[in-house]
Amino acid sequence: MAHHSPHLLIFTGDLINGYTTREDDFRAQLRSWKRIYGPLWREVPVYTGMGNHESLINVFADGTQVDKQAEQSAEAVFASEFVHPMNGPEPERPGLPPYKGSVYSFDYAGCHFTQLNSDYWYSSRPQEHPGNPFGRLLAGQLEWLQRDLMEARAGGARHIFVFVHEPAFPNGGHMQDSLWGGGEAEGVKARDLFWRIVTQAGAKAVFSGHEHNYSRTLIDAKTPVHRDGSANSEFAKPTWQITQGAAGAPFYPRDFTAPWVKSVKKFVAHTWSFCLVQVKGPRVSLETYSYTGELLDQAELV
C-alpha cells in the first residue's frame, strides 16, 4: 500500500480476533493492530471502523453473548484507542454504547467519507437478552446517515463514499447474515432502507469487509435483491458495492445462490489484496492489487 503513496487509508473493521470479556485484552489486541500498521501510519492517516470481531462482551450461563453497555462497551473503548472524528449520532437510547468515534464522517479534497457501525449493541439471542441482531443498522444511525449524506451533497461534495463492515449484498461466506439478515423480512427491510439512503444521496460506492474475499457488484433498480428475485425500484441510481475482506483471514469461496449473482462483476478469493481508489476531478477509478503487487481488478466507478 505504501508503494502507491496513498493520501489516506480506510479499514472497514475486523482488526482483531475480539470476542473477549476483558477490557485489558481488548485494548491489547487493538494496540497490536496499531503496531502492525505503524510504519504506514506514521506517514498516512488511517481511519477504521468496527466489525463483528471488535466485540467486548458479557457471556451468560446459557452461552448468550451480549455487548457490554455504555462506557464499558467495545464502542467506548474503541473510540478511546483511535483518533477519529466525533461527529457521529447519539446512542440509540440512554445507557447503550456510544456511537461517537466508531460512526463518523469527514471531508477531504472535495470528497465525503462516512464510516458506519453494523455491529452495534450485539446480542446473540436478542429475543432472550436485549440487544441488536448480528449485522443490523438501527434507526438512529440510519437517520444520522441520511442527514450526513444530504448535508454533504448540499455542501458541494463531489464524490461520496460509505464504509460499513457487513455487506448489503453478500457474495460468499456470509449469505445467512450480513446487512440483509439472510433474507429474512426485518433484515431486508433495514438493508433496503440503508441502500435507498446511499443511492438517493448519489454515493459513488459502498465499501464493506466481513467476507474473506474481494468482490465488485453493481446494484440498480432492476437488480434482483430479494429471495423471490424481485428488484427495488427505489435503488434508482446504479451504485457499486466493493467488498474487500481479503486482508489476512482464510478465504471464503463464492456463493452462487445470491439473487444478485449476475450483477457481480468481479470476484477474487485466492489471494490477500487491497483497493486503491484514485479521484481526478469527475473521474473515480478503482484498482485492486494482491499483496504481492498483482493487479486483480480495475474499473471506473461511475
The mean per-residue pLDDT over the stretch 191-198 comes to 98
**pLDDT for the residue numbered 236:** 86
Instruction: For 202-233, write each residue's pLDDT tens digit.
Output: 999 999 999 999 999 999 999 999 999 999 99
* pLDDT reading at 114 higher than 90: yes
**pLDDT for the residue numbered 19:** 97
**pLDDT for the residue numbered 33:** 97
Arithmetic mean of pLDDT over the chain:
97
Higher pLDDT, 100 or 248: 100
**pLDDT for the residue numbered 165:** 98
CA separation, residue 229 to residues 166, 222, 241, 261, 265 (Å): 21, 10, 19, 11, 18
Nearest CA to 255 out of 183, 149, 160 is that of 183
Instruction: For 74-98, write each residue's pLDDT tens digit.
Output: 999 999 999 999 999 999 999 999 9
What grid cell was written down for 4?
502507491
How many whole angstroms separate alpha carbon 106 and alpha carbon 151?
12
Angle at Cα 209 formed by Cα 81 and Cα 13, nearest 5°?
5
How many whole angstroms separate alpha carbon 12 and alpha carbon 187?
20
| Topology of domain 87-300, CATH | Purple Acid Phosphatase; chain A, domain 2 (3.60.21)
pLDDT band at 121 (very low <50, low <70, confident <90, very high): very high
β-pair type (273-280, 283-290): antiparallel
Instruction: For 10-26, write each residue's pLDDT tens digit.
Output: 999 999 999 999 999 99
Instruction: For 122-149, write each residue's pLDDT tens digit.
Output: 999 999 999 999 899 999 999 999 999 9
**pLDDT for the residue numbered 287:** 98
Indicate yes or no: pTM above 0.95.
yes
pLDDT band at 302 (very low <50, low <70, confident <90, very high): confident
**pLDDT for the residue numbered 259:** 98
Q: Which residue has the cell 444478485?
A: 260
Angle at Cα 193 formed by Cα 192 and Cα 197, nearest 5°?
115
Structural domain spans, the chain: 87-300
